[in-house]
Amino acid sequence: MSEFDFEAPPYSWDEIHVITERLRAEFNQTRSPIFPIMEFLEQVLDQEMDEISFQVGSIDEMGSAEGLTCPYGTFIELREDVYKAAWQNDGRARFTAAHELGHLILHSDPSSPLKRATPSNRLPAYRRCEPQANQFAAELLMPREYITTADSASSISARHFVSIEAAANRLQFLQRRNLLTIEKDPSLYSSPILLSALGDKG
């Protein structure tokens, strides 16, 4: 995550939803409420597929930056404390990791460098990198089909391993758009398939 923001190609929140759904389907993660974000970044994208270099930076090196994604799509780096916390299923750290994956998928284009967004630009959220990456993380970690009218921020947080703040924001977003599911679908809670880029993908 960055304290700065950049102008990005426009993505509607529904378009980002479709991107995350395709990702979850491609890697057999449509029947588990918990997306294994650290396994996906470190074991699949780096070790199995060799798509990126997954790196861990020290607190001294990274300072206030909890995560970094190369704009050319070559690496993702998490600060060491965030890395450890994410592997321990800390909700905020998992969201940070998913946020960086959002930057990788949405914003890594060497042919189209991003421009710094200034306050005077007043760009809408769907044209800015940070809101887009936040929406990506929310859609990936808290899929729409799991959130029902009976849910609370606490139940969403516990089910999806996210922070209370992220869960509350997600619930409010879905409520405003009338996207809450009425009843829980038991098929969404079958045993998660072992994540593997080289596994049963058809």
Reference 108, options 138, 69, 144; nearest CA is: 69
Question: Looking at residue 90, what is its pLDDT?
Answer: 98
Q: What is the pLDDT of residue 118?
A: 57
> What CATH number did the domain enclosing 37 receive?
1.10.10
Question: Does the residue 194 lie in any domain?
Answer: no
Q: Is residue 16 part of a domain?
A: yes
Split at pLDDT 50, 70, 90, the class of 23 is very high
**Mean of pLDDT over the chain:** 89
Is 52 part of any domain?
yes
pLDDT value of residue 94: 99
SS (H, E, C) the chain: CCCCCEECCCCCHHHHHHHHHHHHHHCCCCCCCCCCHHHHHHHHHHHHCCCCEEEEECHHHHCCCCEEECCCCCEEEEEHHHHHHHHCCCHHHHHHHHHHHHHHHHHCCCCCCCEECCHHHCCCHHHEHHHHHHHHHHHHHCCHHHCECCCCHHHHHHHHCCCHHHHHHHHHHHHHCCCCECCCCHHHHCCCCCCCCCCCCC
Q: Is residue 14 part of a domain?
A: yes
Please report whether residue 121 resides in a domain: yes
Residue 111 lies in a domain: yes
64 is in which domain, residue-wise?
Answer: 6-145
Whole-structure pTM value: 0.89
Q: Above 80 in pLDDT, residue 117?
A: no
Q: In this predicted model, what pLDDT tens digit does every residue of 36-71 receive, in sequence order?
A: 999 999 999 999 999 999 999 999 999 999 999 998
Split into its structural domains, the chain has a count of: 1
Whether 42 is in a domain gets the answer: yes
In a domain? residue 160 = no
Q: What is the pLDDT of residue 1?
A: 52
pLDDT of res. 200: 44
Instruction: Report whether pLDDT(4) > 90.
Output: no
